[in-house]
Each structure stands twice: as C-alpha cells, then as structure tokens.
Structure 1
C-alpha cells in the first residue's frame, strides 16, 4: 500500500485554492466539477506529483463539528514537511500567512502552525 491521495476539509474550495496555491505554493492538478462542488486536487511542486491533496468541501455536519473542535483546540488538521521551518515561516509571513504558533524547537524537531483561512490549523515541520 501507499498513499496517493489525502484530503483537508475546507469551508470554501475557491478560497482554499487561492490560499494553497498563492500563499503555500502548491500546484493545481485536477479541477473537475462534481455537482455543486469540485474534485479539486493539488500537488507539491517539490514532489514527484504522485501524492495529491484533495481540497475536500466540508458539507457534513459531523465533519464540521470535528474540524471546529480541532481548530478551537489548536490541533493541526495535517502536517507538511519543509527543509527549514524558520526560512519557510519568514517567506509565508511575507505572503500574509498568520501563524498561531511561531517556530518552536522540540526534541523531535522544529515546527510552526498557521491558520489556512478555510477552517484549519496546519503544521509545518522540519524534515528529519
């Protein structure tokens, strides 16, 4: 088995697309209408393109409750790995990304967390 697709719940797919491509630097792979929503996936410009991130429209009451609880507790919905957290935070802050936790060093590595503007706290962490 291997991971080919993972998702992040979003309250607005277009806003999420603009944030994840315009501020974080992901690249759009699929944008296919499916009813009132889209099959909207992104890939990392630094990866092989085989792992896609689905911007999953959060239209499910149970999922909304779960997402809101994670957000209110400051728990990240997912983690992205970067080479240098400090450098990436500086670049993202210049792009207007709002961090909820500044770069922090722990025994297991350096991390930071930010608000993705569509309902999630996202963590970035140094690659080990």
Structure 2
C-alpha cells in the first residue's frame, strides 16, 4: 500500500491533479471535489455489479445453470470492475496523502480493532 500511495502522489503531481494547498478555501474546495469524484467512482462500481446481476439473470433465463451464469458474468465484468476499483483507490490515496495518513498502517490497525470488537455480527449456520 505504501508503494501505491507513493506512486499516486507522484502521478497526481505529474498530472497536476494534486489537492490545492494555497489556502484553506482552495484546499476545502479541492477536497470536496475529490470526495465527490470518489463517490462517483464508487457508484460506478455499483453499476458494474448491477451489470453482473443483470447478465447473470439473462444467462439463467436463457437456460444456463445459476452458478455457471454468475461465474461467466463475473469473468466478463472483471476488467471493468478492476478499473473502477483502481479509480476509487486513486482518490482514496490522494485524500489520504493530503492528510499524511499511512493507509497500510491504518488498514491493519482498523482490522485488528474490528477483530477484537465485542459486538460482532453473528453469521447464521447454513443448514442446507
């Protein structure tokens, strides 16, 4: 993750896409704009998932086994989903870099916190 953050920082500088730090107002505006762009990319991930489900349903209607239909639809969507995830990661890295957040450290720390929660979601046992 450190490599991704470092690459993103240099890439965004090179493209002149870094967050404006010349004043509070410009930083605020730039951060809000980048957050808006991040949410747009997250919506595009949702749209790709929708395509997977619609394609799966089409295959099923056409007579394909449900599991095979889902796997085929997933394979078709894999590349586009990867691109949308990459866009999301780029914006997350950009905002994290602005705040000097080490995403790798934060990620592992948060996962440890989740692991040790007292109020965990409980999965039901599948009895089929």
TM over 0.5: no
Greater helix fraction, Structure 1 or Structure 2: 2
Bigger relative contact order, structure 1 or 2 (CA pairs below 8 A, ≥6 apart): 2
Greater strand fraction, Structure 1 or Structure 2: 1
Which of the pair has more CA radius of gyration? 2
